[in-house]
């Protein structure tokens, strides 16, 4: 597997995992409102990705 | 921590609680008094007050610092910080329960739980139901084509 393929396949999962870890830790260790907001935003990205792709695959099925 | 007291005679008089707490407080400056175990009870040894302190910040509020105070003399026997693995365990406790970070955090946590359950349930469905349906028709079965949604 070429290096670029590997990155193409795993880039998003790794990115989402990094965002999730950041969100969990910033809510745990941060005390200010800004850290909690950052945690809410970063933890919402996997949910948005799920909604976006679930919607897209539904549309693809209906088109066929 | 209490090994030197193993053969000590039973405690006759104990110093007042205030004296013990005041002595312990010196060992834990700036920390909050969380709990006191009385001599002979579950938390403490037969000869000591066990005075427990916690930190004041969000990060240290879950960290306990135990201070053993000799109940006969009112002097501190020993004060210790938690070993690193207890620190890690106590700090990471909310990561298991998800009971921190405010209401939006909890809602997001619940939605991510639901997504995980869906992945789990749909995976079990594919494994059990689809495999059973496939088996008799293996000969003519078309290879499953996974389409990427590009």
The domain limits of chain B are: 3-97, 101-134
Structural tokens at position A37: 């907001």
Distance, CA of A63 to CA of A55 (rounded, Å)? 12
**Chain B residues with CB inside 8 Å of A30's CB?**
58
- Closest alpha carbon to B10 in B47, B57, B63: B47
Measured CA to CA, the distance from residue B23 to residue B51 in angstroms comes to: 10
Q: How far apart are CA A60 and CA B148, in angstroms?
A: 10
Residue of B nearest to A57 (CA): B149
Write down the mean pLDDT value for chain A.
88
Q: In chain B, whose CA is at the least distance from the CA of A26?
A: B101
* Measured distance between the N- and C-terminal CA atoms of chain B, rounded to whole angstroms: 65
Interface test with B, best of A27, A48, A50, A51 (most B CBs within 10 A): A27
Residue B115, pLDDT score: 93
Per-residue confidence (pLDDT) for residue B150, from 0 to 100: 46
Which among A29, A30, A43 has the least Cβ separation from residue B108? Answer: A43
pLDDT greater than 90 at residue B148: no
Q: Which CATH number fits domain B3-97: 3.10.450, 3.30.160, 1.10.760, 3.30.360?
A: 3.10.450
The CA-atom distances, in angstroms, between B96 and each of A22, B2, B81, B92, B139 are 16, 33, 23, 7, 47
Tell me whether residues B105 and A43 touch, CB distance under 8 A: yes
ipTM score here? 0.82
A9 at B interface, C-beta within 8 A: no
| Residues B18-56 pLDDT 10s | 999 999 998 888 899 998 999 888 878 888 899 999 988
Is the pLDDT assigned to residue B140 strictly greater than 70? no
């Amino acid at each position: 597997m070429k290096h670029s393929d590997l990155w193409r396949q795993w880039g998003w999962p790794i990115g989402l995992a990094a965002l999730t870890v950041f969100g969990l830790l910033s809510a745990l260790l941060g005390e200010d409102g800004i850290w909690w907001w950052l945690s809410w935003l970063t933890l919402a990205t996997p949910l948005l990705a799920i909604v976006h792709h679930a919607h897209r695959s539904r549309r693809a099925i209906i088109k066929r | 921590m209490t090994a030197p007291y193993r053969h000590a005679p039973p405690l006759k008089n104990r110093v007042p609680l205030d004296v013990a707490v005041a002595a312990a407080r010196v060992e834990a400056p700036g920390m909050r008094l969380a709990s006191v175990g009385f001599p002979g009870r579950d938390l403490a040894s037969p000869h000591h007050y066990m005075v427990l302190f916690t930190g004041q910040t969000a990060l240290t509020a879950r960290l306990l610092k135990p201070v053993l105070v000799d109940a006969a003399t009112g002097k501190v026997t020993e004060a210790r910080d938690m070993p690193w693995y207890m620190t890690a365990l106590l700090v990471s406790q909310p990561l298991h329960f998800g009971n921190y970070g405010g209401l939006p955090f909890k809602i997001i946590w619940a939605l991510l739980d639901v997504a995980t359950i869906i992945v789990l349930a749909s995976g079990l469905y594919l494994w059990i139901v689809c495999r059973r349906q496939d088996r008799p028709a293996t000969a003519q079965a078309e290879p499953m084509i996974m389409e990427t949604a590009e």
